[in-house]
Amino acid sequence: MFRSTQSCQSYRLSDQARQRVTRTPAECSPKTLCRTMTRKINPENDLRVTAKKPAGGFTLVSTGVLLAAWCAYRAKILTLLDLRVWLACLELISRRCELEAVRKPRFRIAEVRSLVGCQNDVSIRRAVRRLAGMRLLIRSGQKLSIPRTTACLSFSTDPSVISRVEAAPSTRRIVPVPRRLLRYLAKSGRASIIATTFGHLIRCLFYRNGECVSGGRCKASWIAEVFEVDLRTVKTARKELVDLGWLVARKATQCQLNRWGLPVVINLEWVPSCDTPVCGSPPPTRGNEAGSPPPIRNNELSSRVKNHEPAKRGPAGVSNKSNPPQPPSLRRVEAEDLNDPTRLEELYRQAVRNRLLQSTPCDRLRFFGAAERAKRVGERNPCGLFISLVRRQQWDFITQRDEDRAVRAVKRVDDPLGHRLSRERIANCC
């Protein structure tokens, strides 16, 4: 006999019918489960796996300390090497947990170096000193220990760290971290793998009544928000942990995945494989083994006629065709314009129309003087120098020698016939 939540009527079930009635926690809440109903457990879909301890042992760490260590790394107080050294120190502390009270434990750098895989002892010593200064490691003589709560940490008053630590379900809850996992993360742990591992340890591994209880639901978006990691990176790291065998995913509907996340069970019998690559990069793609196909054999010649004789080439060098001279323009001054006073006079008129100069004998003489200056000084680009002198009106550069030549050029434009007669008279006298 059992009482339904929807009605107060009583029903009688036979033994055969009672065995057929099976419900999972995902399908209904615990309050609606029948108290007298027998439940069949499917090992493949069960979300709780209990064991006395994980294979290889474990060490107890509070969830607040785990989150505080990661927050110190995200705040750039610690480096990734410091975080891995801290995980290695947790393993060393677990190795000496059953040491006799008479014997004093000794911690050597060589042990940390073998666990981390770093050959630089100076970096490891700096990491240990930094961890001890932040109280993530408590040193009392030759003894090492870890804090149980976040109250004794030196950076626990940081508001950013407090907000991140409070995102955990319970900061004082103890998590049994497997020692094999500690050695794996200290040796070859990336930041994304460490963040995803910490998130699943907080949500899916418990220590109750002296036993380790594995199983739970953890959303990738929660890990990305709390640990400040990209969502795609978390999903990639979770897939890698599933491929390694540390996480065992259970079946769930899409509605359950959206609301509670992926149901997973942490494998308490997990053994890390040395042959498993840390970065699961895809294998290189194979080339085309078949090769290119053979050429098509066609013994029949083409009936098309092609003229392979090229056209006759003309004479090499500059074309013999004489191009008519272009009128002078201020937009494109050529060397011929500077040498011919008539063309230079046309350029002066254009400058007056463009209001660059005034129609006065002084500006006219300056214009011609700038041309003589450009011809005498300008070696690379006399035309450009001429335009620059005119537009900027830098008449101070014109010398007396340039001005004398400019006077003769102006006279040649004003009286071309008289200039020609004077040249002929000079030639006859000589």
pLDDT by 10s per residue, the chain, length 430: 334 333 333 334 344 444 444 444 444 444 443 333 333 334 445 678 888 989 889 999 988 888 888 888 888 888 999 999 999 989 988 888 877 777 777 788 888 888 988 878 888 889 888 888 888 888 777 778 888 887 777 765 666 666 666 666 677 788 999 999 999 999 887 899 999 999 999 989 999 888 999 999 999 999 998 888 899 999 999 999 999 999 998 888 888 888 888 899 999 999 887 544 444 454 555 554 445 556 666 666 666 666 666 666 655 655 555 567 788 888 888 888 888 888 899 989 998 888 888 889 899 999 999 999 999 888 888 888 888 888 888 888 899 999 999 999 888 888 876 555 555 554 555 4
Instruction: Indicate if 342 and 262 belong to the same structural domain.
Output: no
User: Given 246, 266, 286, which residue is the final one in a domain?
Assistant: 266
Instruction: Give pLDDT, residue 193.
Output: 92
Pairing of the two strands 2-3 and 10-11: antiparallel
Q: Specify the pLDDT at position 379.
A: 83
3 state DSSP class of 28: coil
CB 191 within 8 A of CB 161: no
Q: Which helix (H) or strand (E) holds 165?
A: helix 159-165
* CA gap 315, 190 in Å, rounded: 73
With CA atoms as reference, report the closest residue to 96 among 56, 145, 45, 136: 145
Examine the domain organization and report whether 252 and 386 are in the same domain.
no
pLDDT of res. 167: 62
* Residue 61 located in a structural domain: yes
Ramachandran assignment for 91, one of left (phi > 0), alpha (psi -120 to 50 degrees), beta (any other): alpha
The answer to the question of residue 152 being in a domain is yes
Residues 343 and 251 in one domain: no
Rounded to whole angstroms, the Cα distance separating 96 from 107 reads: 10
Same domain, 233 and 344: no
pLDDT the model gives residue 327: 87
Residues 251 and 363 in one domain: no
How far apart are alpha carbons 394 and 387 in whole angstroms? 10
Are both 103 and 229 inside the same structural domain?
A: yes
Is 255 in the same domain as 351? no
The one-letter amino acid at 157: T
CB 280 within 8 A of CB 243: yes
Claim to verify: residue 60 and residue 162 sit in the same structural domain:
yes
Number of domains forming the structure of the chain: 2
Question: Do 193 and 94 have their domain in common?
Answer: yes
Q: What is the pLDDT of residue 275?
A: 40
Q: 101 and 228, same structural domain? A: yes
Of 242, 266, 290, the domain-final residue: 266
pTM: 0.53
* Domain finish residue from 251, 266, 281: 266
CA distance linking residue 153 with residue 163, whole number of Å:
15
For position 422, what pLDDT does the model report? Answer: 54
Enclosing domain of residue 204: 49-266
The reply to whether 194 and 55 lie within a common domain is: yes
